[in-house]
Chain A
Amino acid sequence: MQEYFLLFMGAMFVNNIVLAQYLGNCPFIGTSKESGVAVGMGGAVVFVAVMAAAITWLVQRYILLPFGLDYLQTLAFILVIASLVQFVEMFLKKMIPALYKSLGIFLPLITTNCAVMGIALICQREEMDLLTTVLFAFASGMGFMIALILLAGIREKLAVRRLPMAMRGTPIGLVLAGLMSLAFFAFKGMI
């Protein structure tokens, strides 16, 4: 049990997917202007990351490894994740319209999200089992969501502050991301 807890905390805080591994910076800056949008995007990432990690684990285990094709891992994962997101979008639209409404507009953005891809690849590199993979993906997604919401909160406050012209918008967002990254570095000593 303790093992899973450590995995969970590690993925969420210590090895935060965006602040420690620097993956998914594009949506991290792009969708962190408003906290409402940040929550939606974060939710979508958690959802897709879990799905993608589980499917790619199956693909790796039952297609690529048996045929000795693991050198095609990256390419195959891209294909699989892109198709998966498309499928999930269609599925949600038909079956769970409520969930589609809250996550729908973010799903296409995740098709090429390197955070999702990164989570899937890390699981394979660490040779996790399916349960660990799902948990890890969930925790990493949550880590992304936390970072996103924190940044959005700060940026909302910052939007009404006096800033030098050159720093307004994305530049200050990047500076903030860097500072947050340094702050999260403190978690390194915890585990």
Chain B
Amino acid sequence: MNIRSQISMVFHLDKCIGCHTCSIACKNIWTDRKGAEYMWWNNVETKPGTGYPGKWEDQDIYKGGWEKKGDSIQLKGAGKFKGLKNMFHNPNMPVLEDYYEPWAYQYEHLFEAEEGDDQPVARPVSLITGENITPKSGPNWDDDLSGSTDYARNDVNFKDLSPAEQEAMFQLERMTMHYLPRICNHCLNPACVAACPSGAIYKRGEDGVVLINQKKCRAWRMCVTACPYKKSYYNWNTGKSEKCLLCYPRLENGQIPACMHSCVGRIRYLGVLLYDADKIKEFASCEESELVEKQKSIYLDPNDSEVIKAAKENGIADSTIEAAQKSPVYKFIIEWGLALPLHPEFRTLPNLFYVPPLLPTMAFVENGTYETTSDSLWGAIENSRLPMKYLANLFSAGNEKTIEVVLKKLMAVRLHRRDETVGDLPEKEISDPMGEVKMDKETANEIFRLTSLPLFDERFVIPAAHREEAMEMLESTADVKGNHGFGFKEPPKRGL
């Protein structure tokens, strides 16, 4: 057993209101620079939809992630042979058109325009060439456009649905949508790390954050192809790739990442998970139907005395183990089994988990239309508006059973809370769904509490980073007191 700690996250999709505050917080701190304008380390997409960059989930186009080969796995579009062969021109790399051409409006013109017959206007100009352009796409161009021909109908997750089922989803009466906020998953088996020829990308041992060493990156661009979530971006100005760094300077100070701090819907949870690093390869190579369960079993119980002992032997600090015991993420993923990884079939073992949305599935269908007149508030999960298959393609590699169990649990909590607060439902209507998913009232109340009324410190449990100890190893801290040494020693300027 080789225990490591990993900062992990849960996003509760029922709570996401699609306001993009997270994206803006991230943009203001990290990517508001030349060459990074088009990067959205955090983005929010509307599902069904194509996302950002367009059709990122379609690995027939982008060849991201891992694929099973025999008993093992290999990178789909990169790796030692393919990567070095495609270095001169990478056929699977998304280009600017797959994202969008960043632009700004010439607001100065409103003030500085010469006096004339016409009102001055602020024209959009390209942030790359400086020329006038007409913006035709943007990072959230698909916002709320579920059912549209350009976005929803090109959603890759419809691939297993019958044409009739698909068509039904585009009817106005049956249309459904939910938001999907995405950041880097800081995977246990990251494809970007494996694909980087320079060895510039690495996973931090202490907290599992995946980072790109800007000094070692040589713009071979393989990470952009390899990341199946398209969360590694190429900076066209500096000639270096960049990605979400989970605000690690903030984490080390005990602050939470900006996207999570600013989240209006309070959908985000962050905490530590302990996992067994020896199992990564084996579990990433398992059968597709087992991926979710196997990944869950890689995370260890932080209250188990054996695990604690092994963790201490591996040098994991007591404060980290304590944080792991209080981790809200552990509760959602393992204890309650409510959160699932996004596209586990990419086999990167992502560490960002989602509580799948129940609300678009609410209410059932009769005679092909959305039933609004029934006596019962909730329809059966199986008859929901959003086909189970669609959610299964997103969160459980196509396994509908997994999704169904999660949704039934979420439903049981709702029914229980209705019983507690209103008390108008017959006993059987509550005990049956609760019994079906084996949930007791205490657990249901706990889930309700952490979902609806959690305090800041309950949503985010960050272990101390112990940077002071790391520093002790490098130099005598008293000798360098009063000096400064933070940030770029060399300005991040494009080379010749």
Task: Please say whether chains A and B are actual partners in one complex.
Answer: no
| Interface positions of B (Cβ within 8 A of A) | none
Report which A residues bind B (CB closer than 8 A).
Answer: none
